[in-house]
């Protein structure tokens, strides 16, 4: 990711320079876009570092949700800086249109930026596909992903490719039609694109920050592991929550068989926790509500 930060920083500087030379509003919008991407990656790096801190007295479940908080800041940053400035620049140029300079350098910089975005997009796409089971569309995998570093980078790169295409078409249309309004219209469209990505990222990051449940497949597998244990008579509700991308809390309501002793019940609980962790490495916190155990302790009291 450090290489991506350096590449985006270099691209954003190049776009600012070319925009100042050619006077292209669309190129300036893309410069805002690349600058926003650079800031986003820095925020994600900070979030990854802070989320890796071990549990402490004030945060007994760890700091995994810090990554969700910083990914929410990324959404606000994209919307406010990237999208807002691009739309503002486009509207200002529509009100006061200006002829653009020679577009050659615009095309050169956009081509280089597209090459970098395509390379990064391929990596993020493969990672997104690798982390989720087959049989789902890309959109479903984005919505099901619990790691904002994966789906944020993927959406950023997708928006980057789309943004450079929009800028190219706007600059080209303005050149061919000799129309000064095509370029600022492209800037506004880029701003709307960034705003849409920001809303989607904010929605997903906000849901994770509030405590989104684990994948349904994980819940089904955990329920099957519990139900197959000989000490279990009935499995109640399974409540899950993501404490981080690879950290899941599981709360299970279990009714154990009546003839088990307290020692056998405790051994069954230990066995279930061990089996769940063995098959589901992301389940790091397990709380079992044992009805039979509670009833036996009440009877003994």
Residue with the larger pLDDT of the pair 132 and 145: 145
Domains and their CATH numbers in the chain: 2-210 (1.20.1510.10), 216-300 (3.30.70.1350)
Residue with the larger pLDDT of the pair 133 and 241: 241
The predicted model gives 255-270 an average pLDDT of: 88
Tens digit of pLDDT for each residue in 94-143?
Answer: 888 877 777 888 899 999 888 888 888 888 888 877 766 566 677 777 77
Rounded distance between C-alpha atoms, residue 260 and residue 232, angstroms: 10
pLDDT confidence of residue 140: 73
Cα separation values, 290 from 33, 284, 295, Å: 53, 19, 9
pLDDT confidence of residue 35: 87
Rounded distance between C-alpha atoms, residue 63 and residue 59, angstroms: 7
pLDDT confidence of residue 156: 85
How is 219-267 classified by DSSP, letter by letter? HHHHHHHHHTSTTEEEEEEEEEEEEETTEEEEEEEEEE-TT--HHHHHH
What global pTM score does this model have? 0.80
pLDDT confidence of residue 9: 83
The predicted model gives 148-168 an average pLDDT of: 88
pLDDT confidence of residue 2: 67
Tens digit of pLDDT for each residue in 8-49?
Answer: 788 888 899 988 888 888 888 888 888 888 888 888 899 999
The predicted model gives 148-153 an average pLDDT of: 84
Rounded distance between C-alpha atoms, residue 290 and residue 263, angstroms: 13
The predicted model gives 71-96 an average pLDDT of: 86
Q: Which residues sit opposite 256 in a β-bridge? A: 232
197, 150 in Cβ contact below 8 A? no
Q: Given a cut of 90, is residue 186 above it in pLDDT?
A: yes
The predicted model gives 144-162 an average pLDDT of: 85
- Name the phi and psi angles at 144, rounded to 5: -85, -15
Q: Given a cut of 70, is residue 273 above it in pLDDT?
A: yes
Neighbours of 123 (CB within 10 A): 13
pLDDT confidence of residue 301: 47
């Amino acid at each position: 990711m450090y290489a991506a930060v350096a590449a985006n920083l270099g691209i954003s500087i190049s776009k600012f320079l070319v925009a100042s030379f050619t006077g292209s509003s669309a190129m300036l919008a893309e410069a805002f876009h690349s600058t926003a991407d650079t800031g986003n990656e820095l925020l994600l790096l900070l979030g990854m570092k802070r989320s890796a801190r071990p549990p402490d007295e004030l945060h007994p479940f760890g700091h995994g949700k810090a990554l969700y908080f910083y990914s929410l800041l990324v959404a606000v940053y994209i919307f406010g800086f990237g999208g807002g400035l691009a739309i503002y620049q486009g509207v200002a140029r529509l009100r006061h249109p200006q002829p653009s300079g020679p577009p050659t350098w615009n095309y050169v910089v956009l081509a280089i930026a597209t090459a970098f975005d395509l390379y990064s997009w391929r990596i993020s796409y493969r990672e997104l596909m690798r982390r989720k089971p087959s049989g789902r569309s890309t959109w479903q995998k984005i919505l099901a992903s619990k790691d904002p570093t994966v789906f944020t980078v993927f959406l950023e790169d997708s928006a980057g490719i789309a943004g450079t295409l929009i800028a190219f078409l706007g600059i080209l249309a303005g050149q061919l039609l000799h129309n000064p309004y095509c370029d600022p219209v492209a800037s506004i469209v880029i701003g709307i694109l960034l705003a849409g990505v920001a809303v989607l990222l904010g929605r997903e990051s906000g849901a994770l920050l509030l405590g989104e449940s684990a994948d349904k497949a994980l819940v089904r597998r955990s329920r099957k592991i519990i139900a197959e244990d000989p000490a279990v008579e009935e499995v109640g509700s399974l409540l899950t929550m993501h404490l981080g991308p690879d950290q899941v809390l599981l709360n299970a309501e279990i009714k154990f068989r009546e003839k088990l002793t307290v020692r056998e019940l405790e051994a069954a609980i230990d066995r279930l926790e061990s089996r769940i962790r063995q098959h589901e490495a992301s389940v790091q916190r397990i709380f079992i509500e044992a009805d039979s155990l509670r009833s036996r302790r009440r009877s003994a009291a």
